[in-house]
Amino acid sequence: MNTNVMSALAEPNRMQIVELLRENPLTVGEIAESLQLRQPQASKHLRVLSEAGLIEVQAVANRRICKLRPDPFKELDTWLESYRHMWKERYDRLDDYLQKLQSKELDNEK
C-alpha cells in the first residue's frame, strides 16, 4: 500500500476534497468555495492529492479541472480486503458466541 496515499487521505480537508470529487470533476475554485478555503489553500491540498496519484488536474482555458483517478482507490480496496476478511471472521465468532449465550438464557428460563 502506498503510504503517500494514506498520508494524503489522513488530512480532513483533503478527504473532503476526495468526497466532493466522487460526484463529478470540479474546478479548483468550486472546491475552494465548497470547503470555504482560499484558493491557494485548496491548491496546496490538491497538489498533495495529485502527487499521491489520487487526482489528476487538467488545464482547460484558464480553469483547472480536478478529477479522481480510480487506480489508487482500487489498490486501497485490495489492501483493505484482507482486513475485511479478518473482521468478518471475528464478527462470525462473536455471532456464534452471542447465539450460545442466548441459547443458555433460554435454557435457564425453562
Q: Checking phi first, is residue 19 left (phi over 0); if not, alpha (psi -120 to 50) or beta?
A: alpha
The predicted structure's pLDDT at residue 110? 66
The predicted structure's pLDDT at residue 35? 95
> What is the distance between the alpha carbons of residues 32 and 4, in angstroms, rounded to a whole number?
22
Per-residue pLDDT of the chain (110 residues; tens, 9 = 90+): 678 899 999 999 999 999 999 999 999 999 999 999 999 999 999 999 999 999 999 998 999 999 999 999 998 888 888 888 788 888 878 888 888 888 877 777 76
Grid cell for residue 11? 488530512
The predicted structure's pLDDT at residue 1? 60
Strand-pair partners of 65: 27, 58
The predicted structure's pLDDT at residue 14? 97
> What is the distance between the alpha carbons of residues 32 and 23, in angstroms, rounded to a whole number?
16
Name the pTM for this structure. Answer: 0.74
Residue 48 has phi, psi (to 5 degrees) of -65, -45
